[in-house]
Structures are given as C-alpha cells and as structure tokens.
Chain A
Amino acid sequence: MNTGSIRFRLTVWYAGLLAGLIVLFGVAVYLGLNHYLERTLSETLSQQAKQIGEAWLGEVGVSGESYVSEEINEHLSPKVNGRFVRITRADGSVMYLSDEPENKRFDPTRVPLLKEHIGQESLREEHLTPDSELKIFALPFNAKDTSKYVIEVGASNQEIESVLHGLLLAIGIGLPAIVGIAIAGGYLLMRRALKPVDEITQSAERITSRNLSERLPVAKTGDELERLSVGLNRMIARLDESFQHINRFSADASHELRTPLTILRGELEAAAQQPQITPELRETLGSALEETERLSRIVESLMAISRLDAGEARVDHAHFDLGELTSSTTEQMRLLAEDKNIVLRCEAEHEVSVEGDRARLKQVIVNLLDNAIKYTPARGYVGVKVSATNSRAMLEVSDNGVGIPPEALPHIFERFYRVDKARSRQMGGAGLGLSIIKAIVTAHGGQVRVESVEGSGSRFVVELPVAGKTLE
C-alpha cells in the first residue's frame, strides 16, 4: 500500500478524527451516566427509607417490631434486591437488619454501627472490603409513640459500576468496529472517487513525444477532475505543437544544410581533379572533403532522428527473424573484430520474430557492434546474444572494453553527447550513433538500456516486442 497516496492519507485522517470523536463522546456519556446513576440511586435509597418510616415504622408502637420486619422483607425484599436495610433504636441497638443479599455483594453484619444518634438525614459510603463499597442513606425518624430510630438503606456501588462497565465494554468493542468500518468504507469511497485520477494518470503515462496527438479521456462530470483532465489536455496540445515545430525545424534545417554541402563537396572534388595542383593542395582538399563527408553524415543522422521522432520511420512492416538478422550481421562485422584481435561471439536464438523495418534494425545491430568493437582494446571480447521471452525479444551486446563512467551513463543516448570528447572524435563519431539506435528502437515500440562498469566493459540491451505483441 502506498502510504503517500491521497487515498491513504485521507482515510487515515478521517478515521483518526472519527476515533477521536467517538472517544470524546464515550467519555461524556460515561461521566453523564455515572452522575445520573449515582443521583438516581441516592434518591431511590432516600425514598425507600422514607417509605419504611412512614408506612411501617410510624405505627411500631401499635403493630410491633416484628410486623415492621415482616413488612420490610415482604415489600422491599432487600435480600433479592441487594439492598442493605437497618433500623437502629435510639440507644444504638439494632431493631432490624436485612439478610445477606443473594448476590453476596456485601455482608450486612459488617457494616459498622452508627457511633451516635444522628439528628438529620445523611448519605455516606462504607468500604467493607477493597472491592465492595456501600452507599448508605441514613434517616432519623420519630415514631408516633415518640421513640426515635435511624433508618438506614444502602446499596452496593457495584450496581452502578456494572452498568458503567457494560458501557465501557460497548464502547471498547464498538469503537474499533466503527473505525474499522469507516476505514474500509472510506477507502472504497476514496478509491471510487479517485478512480478517474488513476485513469488520467495511466493515460498520461502512455503519452510520449511520439503520440502527442492522443488526449486524456475527459469525464463530463463537471467536477475538479474534469477540469484537471481538460487542463492536462491543453498542456499536451501545447507540447504537441512545440514538438511539431521542433521536428519541422530540424527537418527544414537539415534540408537547408544539404544544398551548400552539395556545392561544397562538388566544388572541392572538381578542384581536386585538377591535374596541375600540388600534392600539398591535394592533401588539403582531401582533408576538406573528409570534413564535408562528416558534416553530411551528421546532417543525415539528424535528419534520420528527426524523422524517427516524427513517427515516419515505420514505413516498412515486415516480420523477420531477429536472431537470423543478428547472426548474419555479426558475421559481416567479424572482420572488424578480427582486425583488432577481438573475440566476437554470437549466441542468437533463432525464430525470434519481430516486426518492423529490417534495414533500420540492422543498423541498430551494426551501430552497437561497431561501438563495442571500437571501445574494446585489442584481444578483448565482444558478445552478442539474442533471446526471447513470451512477449519480448532481447538483443544484448556486451564487451569487456573501456566502459562508461557512471556520470555519463544517463546521457549517452542524448544527441551529440560524447563520453570522451577527444577519443570519440578521433574515432570519427559525431555522438549521434546511440541517439539513432534509441530513436529506431523507440519507433519500434521497444526500449534500449545500458549497464556499464568503467574499465571493465559495457552491456547494451535492446528489448523489442515479439511480433504481434506489445511491451508492457
């Protein structure tokens, strides 16, 4: 997963926000509920104490103490309801004490007796054991026969705590679940919303200098993404225009260069044909002719590259065997290698069918081999290999020659780029051979790359689509 993507970041952000809000909400609910339950319990306790007093204890002089006990047991059922009930006489002796509740939350006999008779109602908490807390409401009460009592009604705090515990549990389970659903839902939603962006990206990836006439798909949604693709399309149109301009310019320039070159060459040849000229002058004219020749080659190469870039290259669409072409071309070049005592080895798999301009692709092989032989010292090694996978044909030319310094590697396919200015000029190159290779290979839907270690050799790899397939 790409943690830098907008989709991921937005999802994380708002899942975090949602989790934070839920936690905040949970805390508020928890505190509110706690407060509410405490108050309700206090009120219930005070009501029950008053009920005991008014309903039964008031008439204790008439009805007798055992009647009061029975009534309390019958109507309030402290044993079942988990209530603590105690009635204390004015002398501190206990008139009534409820039994231990069924849930055994507390032991009523362990609740300490009141030190003295209290004059007014009070609410207190008794800690019986570390985990059992009793909230007790005490009510002083005067029976009709003026005897004084204190009625105490209590309940375990655990009742409140178990409710709050339940709430915490609900929040604890609910929160991750909700956040999880929000992340999943949000991610899917974002993916849906950002799908057009992916499509735009993919289409934009496909557009290179040779298919600038293509445009990105524009979804008529009226949203930001439509504006984005329209804006990108305008930019591509401007690029298209300037590329065409450049291509037209270089075609015109090459064309305009040819006429003076023709004249120059013709005049020099004519001058060199004069029988009466001195050998020195003949040498000079010959040298000038050589330079004219080189200039012509540069113009030819530039013209070829600009035509390839303009997409005019693939006039010829033949199917042929790259392996066969490579091994036959290698044989034709063998003498160049032998001349320098270079071992030239060719391992070409046959029946590697590619489609395109045979002469152009042969030029690629020739140029690669020529380079390899030129930049490999005597008694070196040059290897050629052709292999194929399901969809791609690979042509590799490797040598153990001088190699290419790492800082030059990214530039070697650029026009007029020279690794070693002095040496390559001496070899008669113009820094266009690799540019032509790249232009030809690109025009055939392929790729060319290079690996090299300075001082120990280079390896050029050309990948072409097998006939009827495309490189992914």
Chain B
Amino acid sequence: MRLLLIEDEEKVARFIVKGLEAERFAVDVAFEGDRGLELAQTYSYDLIILDLMLPGLSGTDVLRLVRLRNERVPVLVLTARDALSDKVQHFEIGADDYLTKPFAFAELLVRVKALLRRGAVNRANVLRIADLEIDRLTQQVKRAGQRVELTGKEYALLEYLMTNVGRVLSRTMIIEHVWDLSFDGATNIVDVYVRHLRNKIDEPFERKLIRTVRGVGYTIGGEEGL
C-alpha cells in the first residue's frame, strides 16, 4: 500500500510517516501543494492524506484538481480548521474523511484503514479474544463459556473494542462511535462505562483483557506495553 502525505509541517509529517511505516505502509511526503499535486498526478496512490493550509497551492485547490481528473483515490483531509462549514465544503469537493488537529495517531490509523477497507472492518458475526466471545447477531457475550449480561452501551463499547483488537482507541474515538460528539470534552462517561464493562468481563477472571493506555485511551487484547 502506498500513501501520499501532503503536509507542510515537517514535524507533523515526520511522526505520521514514522507511524504509518511502522504499520507497513509506504509513504511519500510532499511539503508543498504544487509538489503534492504533481506526485498525486504522477503515481497511483492508494490514499492521500492532505493538509489544508499549505504554501503555494492550498489543500483545497489540490483536492479540487485531484478530483477534476476524476480520481477515485480516497482523500483524508487533515486540518486545524474545524468549523462545520469547512467540513461540509470539503466533503462537497470530494474529501472522503476529515480529521481535525490535534489528533491521536491511533485515530488517524483507524481512519486510514477504514478508507482502505482493510483491517478496521471486521465483518465476522462472532468475534473472539482469548476466552471472550461476542455474537454480533444476538448481541450475546460469553466469557469462559458463561453468559455475561451487558447493557446496550456496554455492548456497543465492547463490540467497538473487539472490532479493533490490539489497537488503542482514544476516548474521542470511543465517544464518537458509541455515543456522539456532544459528550466529548468534559464528561468522564467513557471511563465510567469502561469500568463497568471491566467489572463484568474482567473482574472475575485472572487474565485482564481491557487495558488502559495512559494519555491515549483503551485497548482490548494485544500484547503488553503499547
């Protein structure tokens, strides 16, 4: 998979590239709009990550020109502007997703994978980690063969974690997915729900599946450490 990152902030570009390469993506970087457009039109990328505030040609123009050639390449827009009108404008021009700075790298990764229709979307009806098993059709949860009763939100939270096994999900991502963004910010609703979920599926068992990654969020399964 080859990705193009058009981002003028060198340091931002550096950690994105580092992170994506760790996930075994090949990444090309352009620091200006013009260079980015050139690359986009020369090579066939699987995905473009585009910053909007660029020297020279702006990100908006790059997006417009890429779409003018009717390219179906998915474009993920990165920006420091988060006004709803900006988002709407860029979706209309042809952006596929939108991520506001500052973002958690995990979130960028989940979105990239979702756009590439790879990894993030686990369509299986039954998901399993160790001796934990959930059935997405009946919404039944079993640990070590015993039924565990979960409330609707607890189930939604667990399912979201299970479809992203081994990946750290930020509170914002969880809120956006399980609740809606109105809950972002002040509330500690995610922590409370995670605690309740832990009490039901982890507390009675020796092996703890849900892990807190300090400063980032929560993950299920995967190895120790981050």
Chain B associates with chain A = yes
A264-308 interface (Cβ within 8 A of B): 264-270, 272-273, 275, 282-283, 285-290, 292-293, 296-297, 300-301, 303, 307
Would B187 and A370 count as touching, CB distance under 8 A? Answer: yes
7 contacts between A and B (CB under 8 A): A266-B19, A268-B215, A282-B225, A366-B182, A370-B187, A433-B185, A433-B186
Would B81 and A255 count as touching, CB distance under 8 A? Answer: yes
Specify which chain B residues have a CB less than 8 angstroms from the CB of A370 in the assembled complex: 186-187
Question: Which residue of the partner chain B has the closest CB to A261?
Answer: B102
Would B153 and A332 count as touching, CB distance under 8 A? Answer: yes
Q: CB of B226 within 8 A of chain A?
A: yes
- How far is A289 from B216 in the complex, measured between Cα atoms in Å? 7
Specify which chain B residues have a CB less than 8 angstroms from the CB of A292 in the assembled complex: 102, 215
Specify which chain A residues have a CB less than 8 angstroms from the CB of B188 in the assembled complex: 336, 428
Question: Which residue of the partner chain A has the closest CB to B223?
Answer: A275
Would A429 and B186 count as touching, CB distance under 8 A? Answer: yes
Q: CB of A335 within 8 A of chain B?
A: yes
Would B102 and A272 count as touching, CB distance under 8 A? Answer: no
> How many CB-defined contacts (below 8 Å) exist between A and B?
132
A362 vs chain B, min Cβ distance (A): 4
Would B180 and A359 count as touching, CB distance under 8 A? Answer: yes
Partner-B contacts on A (CB < 8 A): 255, 258-259, 261-270, 272-273, 275, 282-283, 285-290, 292-293, 296-297, 300-301, 303, 307, 312, 315-316, 329, 332-333, 335-336, 339, 359-360, 362-363, 365-367, 370-371, 428-429, 433
Question: Which residue of the partner chain B has the closest CB to A371?
Answer: B186
Question: Which residue of the partner chain B has the closest CB to A264?
Answer: B102
B129 vs chain A, min Cβ distance (A): 21
Would A263 and B18 count as touching, CB distance under 8 A? Answer: no
- How far is A429 from B100 in the complex, measured between Cα atoms in Å? 21
Question: Which residue of the partner chain B has the closest CB to A297?
Answer: B185
Q: CB of B80 within 8 A of chain A?
A: yes
- How far is A425 from B181 in the complex, measured between Cα atoms in Å? 22
Given known contacts A258-B80, A289-B215, A263 and B185 CB-to-CB distance under 8 angstroms: no
Given known contacts A335-B189, A366-B187, A370-B187, A263 and B216 CB-to-CB distance under 8 angstroms: no
Q: CB of B193 within 8 A of chain A?
A: yes
Q: CB of B83 within 8 A of chain A?
A: yes
Given known contacts A262-B103, A315-B84, A269 and B216 CB-to-CB distance under 8 angstroms: yes
Beyond A258-B80, A272-B216, 4 additional pairs, beta carbon < 8 A: A282-B214, A293-B215, A339-B192, A367-B186
Partner-A contacts on B (CB < 8 A): 9, 11-12, 15-16, 18-19, 22, 80-85, 88, 100-106, 151, 153, 179-183, 185-189, 192-193, 195-196, 213-216, 225-226
Specify which chain A residues have a CB less than 8 angstroms from the CB of B225 in the assembled complex: 275, 282
- How far is A316 from B179 in the complex, measured between Cα atoms in Å? 20
Would B215 and A285 count as touching, CB distance under 8 A? Answer: yes
B73 vs chain A, min Cβ distance (A): 24
Specify which chain B residues have a CB less than 8 angstroms from the CB of A297 in the assembled complex: 185
- How far is A17 from B23 in the complex, measured between Cα atoms in Å? 94
Would B85 and A262 count as touching, CB distance under 8 A? Answer: no
- How far is A268 from B195 in the complex, measured between Cα atoms in Å? 26
Given known contacts A282-B214, A335-B192, A262 and B12 CB-to-CB distance under 8 angstroms: yes
Would B192 and A286 count as touching, CB distance under 8 A? Answer: no
Given known contacts A296-B102, A315-B85, A370-B186, A287 and B214 CB-to-CB distance under 8 angstroms: yes
Specify which chain A residues have a CB less than 8 angstroms from the CB of B186 in the assembled complex: 366-367, 370-371, 428-429, 433
Specify which chain A residues have a CB less than 8 angstroms from the CB of B214 in the assembled complex: 282-283, 285-287, 289-290
Name A's interface SS: helix
Would A287 and B215 count as touching, CB distance under 8 A? Answer: yes
Q: Which of B193, B215, B216, B226 contacts A335 (CB 8 A)?
A: B193
- How far is A367 from B84 in the complex, measured between Cα atoms in Å? 20
Question: Which residue of the partner chain A has the closest CB to B82?
Answer: A303
B127 vs chain A, min Cβ distance (A): 24
- How far is A365 from B186 in the complex, measured between Cα atoms in Å? 12
Q: Which of A259, A307, A312 contacts B12 (CB 8 A)?
A: A259
B190 vs chain A, min Cβ distance (A): 11
Would B19 and A270 count as touching, CB distance under 8 A? Answer: yes
- How far is A359 from B15 in the complex, measured between Cα atoms in Å? 33
Would A266 and B12 count as touching, CB distance under 8 A? Answer: yes
Would B101 and A261 count as touching, CB distance under 8 A? Answer: yes
Specify which chain A residues have a CB less than 8 angstroms from the CB of B106 in the assembled complex: 269
A18 vs chain B, min Cβ distance (A): 64
3 closest Cβ contacts across the A-B interface? A289-B215, A286-B214, A266-B15
- How far is A205 from B17 in the complex, measured between Cα atoms in Å? 55
Most buried by B among A273, A315, A316: A273
Specify which chain B residues have a CB less than 8 angstroms from the CB of A282 in the assembled complex: 214, 225-226
Given known contacts A265-B102, A268-B215, A367-B186, A259 and B15 CB-to-CB distance under 8 angstroms: no
Specify which chain B residues have a CB less than 8 angstroms from the CB of A258 in the assembled complex: 80, 100-102
B66 vs chain A, min Cβ distance (A): 23
- How far is A286 from B88 in the complex, measured between Cα atoms in Å? 34
Would A362 and B180 count as touching, CB distance under 8 A? Answer: yes
Most buried by B among A272, A290, A307: A272
Specify which chain B residues have a CB less than 8 angstroms from the CB of A312 in the assembled complex: 83, 85
Most buried by B among A316, A362, A371: A362
B130 vs chain A, min Cβ distance (A): 22
Specify which chain A residues have a CB less than 8 angstroms from the CB of B11 in the assembled complex: 263, 266-267
A200 vs chain B, min Cβ distance (A): 35
A419 vs chain B, min Cβ distance (A): 15
- How far is A262 from B151 in the complex, measured between Cα atoms in Å? 35
Specify which chain B residues have a CB less than 8 angstroms from the CB of A301 in the assembled complex: 185
A102 vs chain B, min Cβ distance (A): 103
Would B80 and A259 count as touching, CB distance under 8 A? Answer: yes
Specify which chain A residues have a CB less than 8 angstroms from the CB of B101 in the assembled complex: 258-259, 261-262
